[in-house]
Amino acid sequence: MRDLPDPGFAGDDGVASTTLTAALTGYREDPAGGHAAALAVLQHERLLVPVVAVLAAGGQGEDGSDKASDMATVLMRGRDGRTALLAFTGTDAMGRWDPAARPVPVPARTAAAAAVQDGASAMVLDVAGPVRFVVETEDLRELAQGSTLVRVSDRYGWARPAR
């Protein structure tokens, strides 16, 4: 039997962080002024990335039954053709989207890195609510690279770790 490494979320009950929920509520009330503040909180949080079963190539039996399937993360395609990785603050928000999806807890930075690796241009948080939040372009890349969003006076900026 193989031992799997601890992902760092032992005892996680799937409930959204109250700190993140408050930051997203602030964003909903003031989208222009609250985006960076919510992102500054999000960078330190655990997210749930859904995995769903997809039929493997040649995976259907002669009787039409699923013979083989793989588990995959979910990318959503927008009207403009760009793709985004879906992520959720908690199991309640994920259940609004798809009750059958399986949650995989990961740090927000890991979810952002997975989005970039999959060629997505964004990460959409809680697509079915209660507050939809999008991380895209430079913010997605900086979060994926391990940069830290910091507040200096009345502005936010990305600080990169020394290499």
Mean pLDDT of 94-103: 92
pLDDT digits (tens, 9 = 90+) for 127-153: 999 999 999 999 999 999 999 999 998
Report the predicted TM-score, pTM, of the whole model to 2 decimal places.
0.84
| Lookup: tokens for 152 | 């200096």
Those residues whose C-beta lies under 8 Å from the C-beta of residue 27, and which sit 6 or more positions away, are 34, 35, 37, 38, 131, 133
pLDDT digits (tens, 9 = 90+) for 51-80: 877 777 665 556 665 566 676 778 999 899
